[in-house]
A and B are shown apart, each in its own frame.
Chain A
């Protein structure tokens, strides 16, 4: 009995080491935060359009599966993500709404003119409030909204081609089933 007591520190450490190993080997990114809004209705927004015309609103998205992408011309990782978005828009015909997060309209416009526009419409979130409503804490962030207007998935950081193949496209496919 007394001898078991001396085993206690070792046992505690074995537990700790196992847990470190799990934390280390899982490919999870410690910086990634799951959205608090998963399966909740997407926040309402009504933003001026970057490309002119009617405002970009949440009401206008009802009844379809959309991908909402927060981006900014000042954001370097967004440039990394841009070709992936272009492919999604052109080949997969995904409905994408861009939200220019705390960006100068001219800069955002120039960026899209220069490198191509993957978005159906682009809203201007000048104050960053819509970003906060979505729980954005950095750009780029990407949200998938289903037909009923609920947020189903959030991607933090630039979308990688792998994430698109493995997660985004299958999810969109599933959500598009009637």
Chain B
């Protein structure tokens, strides 16, 4: 019964989405306030209905209702509760439902928090959101319905893949999808602006919080996925340039470009058609990623669904959404008037450089991801495009970008003084030199590029710190005055500082992965291995039973210079239902380095394979990502985004650029 309610709610949601996509759009065209207002209630209703559907499916999972095919295929009564819940989106159908749930959430958020938007713009934005909703609800109902029943119900389900029985599944997909789908709001704003033929500073202010919020969640989502891979894989890999990962990286890169270029639209009323294009492309890349992952066109051995009907359906959705919006762009974008002029050496110029490099970076990832498929389609040879390609193409593009972060953010609007900016960066330069020299000293001239990468990170960090110090006039006015300035600094400025510092920290973590050391040995209980100055002593291995698995739990005492540092417990788990073994690694971190231990198979002679890794700075990769996302959140709390009324009144008049 509850399942049918969910199914019915999903069908109702489709009809509500149909209303949402048509009535407000017509209302905006005819200037009918009543019709326009339908958008808000429809968006809220649609979200509520999808939430009911989501709740119904979750209920079926929690009570292990094995009359639902989706539950049979992906759940088991002996599974712990957390994984019954997160298992809802551990499969194609459920994850698509999560996707539209997030889409509904975004639409409802625009309806609820969009009070400061002009009614016509809001109506059009909600209508476009409704159209996307119609497409994906149709997709779910016709090709991927999670509510289908099986009669008679089997006694138990097939269980969830053991790899997915991890807290990572509970958090990674919701964040990732919220990020992907969140960019649909920027997309809808872009389409609405094209219909209206007007993009101005006020528009940029309305779009910016939405793209910032999506960018933050996508950052967290990608970082979580990477961390999940890191701690599950047993040897500490965290990024593979796999098509599925690239599909999430591309919208992130273009989204990053978008949040930078929309600053230029807001402050200087220029780069308008480019920013609109970025907003369209960011969400389009999310859609293309969905297509690639779920249509089976990629050489992915275990892609979610490889049903050609689904692929064809998503392709039609792609053509309608992307093709439609780009057609609108081709027709309407020439109407958008280019605004303020600026010299190449200026803040705008630096942001244009940022956009150029990010766009090229995204294009590089795109080419690398799709080229094997392209060659195959034209009958060329089969090739693999792996990490060496991306290291040689993507990374060089990011080097100038990182070099430019500091100087770029110190340049003035309109016309900047590059030499002056570089002079003010003397401290950052000194820091970078120190780090490089220190790096060479510690690693005995170790991997040159990695040490230079650390220097680059230091330069970026120093640049962000210098920019902050300049704003606070640190050391030039009394400390108390600087503190007062710090309190009055716009949140957006703080946000930028945090985000750039986070970026620097992530870059340092990535560069330092060249300094990893590893030991792989067969050890008998009582035996020891040495790694990076630590001694790992295998005390013993115990066997036990978990809720739905058996485990071997190794107790390993880590000591340094004779004193015990920690006792860690890596495990290997065997899931009898799926006949699969997984590893639970033990990670000891001090935020400067990770000690990473995993146990493998037992050796017939009574030993165990132990792999231990010492990974300097590796936690910084994710720490930096968290700081980046935090910066985004801080910027999001800037009151500028909320004072809509004043902004609208001012936007109605031609205005000089507000100072930075």
Closest chain B residue to A26, Cβ basis:
B377
Is A23 touching B334 in the complex (CB atoms < 8 A)?
no
By a CB distance below 8 angstroms, the chain A residues around B646 are none
Is B297 touching A24 in the complex (CB atoms < 8 A)?
yes
| B279-334 interface with A by 8 A CB criterion | 280-281, 284, 288, 291, 295-301, 308, 311-312, 315, 318-319, 322-323, 326-327, 329-330, 333-334
B277, CB-defined interface residue at 8 Å: yes
B48, CB-defined interface residue at 8 Å: no
18 extra A-B contacts, CB within 8 A, seeds A6-B334, A9-B330: A3-B330, A6-B273, A6-B330, A9-B277, A10-B327, A17-B315, A17-B323, A20-B291, A20-B315, A21-B315, A24-B308, A25-B308, A25-B312, A30-B296, A30-B298, A30-B300, A31-B299, A31-B301
A25 and B316 alpha carbons, distance in the complex (Å): 13
A132, CB-defined interface residue at 8 Å: no
How many chain B residues touch A (Cβ–Cβ < 8 Å)? 33
**Shortest beta-carbon distance from A178 to chain B in Å:** 32
Closest chain A residue to B331, Cβ basis:
A6
By a CB distance below 8 angstroms, the chain B residues around A16 are 288
Is A10 touching B330 in the complex (CB atoms < 8 A)?
yes
**Shortest beta-carbon distance from B533 to chain A in Å:** 40
B376, CB-defined interface residue at 8 Å: yes
A72 and B281 alpha carbons, distance in the complex (Å): 49
B141, CB-defined interface residue at 8 Å: no
Partner of A14, one of B299, B315, B323, B382: B323
B374, CB-defined interface residue at 8 Å: yes
Partner of A2, one of B288, B300, B334, B374: B334
Partner of A30, one of B277, B297, B315, B374: B297
Task: Given A17-B315, A20-B297, A30-B296, answer yes or no on A6-B333 (Cβ-Cβ < 8 Å).
Answer: yes
Is A23 touching B323 in the complex (CB atoms < 8 A)?
no
A59, CB-defined interface residue at 8 Å: no
Is A24 touching B323 in the complex (CB atoms < 8 A)?
no
By a CB distance below 8 angstroms, the chain B residues around A2 are 334
By a CB distance below 8 angstroms, the chain A residues around B319 are 17
By a CB distance below 8 angstroms, the chain B residues around A30 are 296-300, 373, 376
Closest chain B residue to A14, Cβ basis:
B323
Task: Given A20-B291, A28-B376, answer yes or no on A33-B382 (Cβ-Cβ < 8 Å).
Answer: yes
**Shortest beta-carbon distance from A97 to chain B in Å:** 26
Closest chain A residue to B332, Cβ basis:
A6
Partner of B312, one of A3, A22, A24, A34: A24
Partner of B377, one of A6, A19, A33: A19
A21 and B295 alpha carbons, distance in the complex (Å): 11
Partner of B329, one of A10, A22, A28, A33: A10
21 A-B contact pairs sorted by A residue (CB < 8 Å): A3-B330, A6-B273, A7-B330, A9-B329, A9-B330, A10-B326, A13-B284, A13-B322, A13-B323, A13-B326, A17-B315, A17-B319, A17-B323, A20-B315, A23-B373, A23-B377, A24-B311, A30-B297, A30-B298, A30-B376, A34-B382
A3 and B332 alpha carbons, distance in the complex (Å): 10
A23 and B297 alpha carbons, distance in the complex (Å): 6
Is B326 touching A9 in the complex (CB atoms < 8 A)?
yes
By a CB distance below 8 angstroms, the chain A residues around B376 are 23, 28, 30
By a CB distance below 8 angstroms, the chain A residues around B300 are 30
